[in-house]
Amino acid sequence: MNIKRIFGAVLTILGVAGLIYAAVMFVNSPGGTRSIKTIVIYGILGIVFFIAGISLVRTTKDAS
């Protein structure tokens, strides 16, 4: 198995975890400015990791 595919899968899992965490924080937040900032930060990082992981898995060719 290719190391790039493994790294892509790890990035994808981290991205999904970040998006789920942001969603849970969004549902349980009281609405303060500090909680909105953390929700946005976790959401953006989750999206970036998810897109990077998916594109890395898609563009890496298997050489078996």
30 within domain boundaries: yes
| Confidence band for 61, pLDDT divided at 50, 70 and 90 | confident
Mean pLDDT of 23-48: 88
64 within domain boundaries: no
Whole-angstrom CA distances from 48 to 1, 11, 16, 18, 42 are 24, 9, 10, 10, 10
- State the pLDDT at residue 23: 93
Question: Hey, what are 39's tokens?
Answer: 């929700």
Q: Nearest 5°: phi and psi at 2?
A: -80, 140
Read off the pTM.
0.84
24 within domain boundaries: yes
28 within domain boundaries: yes
Angle, helix 3-28 to helix 33-59, in steps of 10 degrees: 160
Domain encompassing residue 36: 3-59
As for how many domains the chain has, the answer is 1
57 has a pLDDT exceeding 70: yes
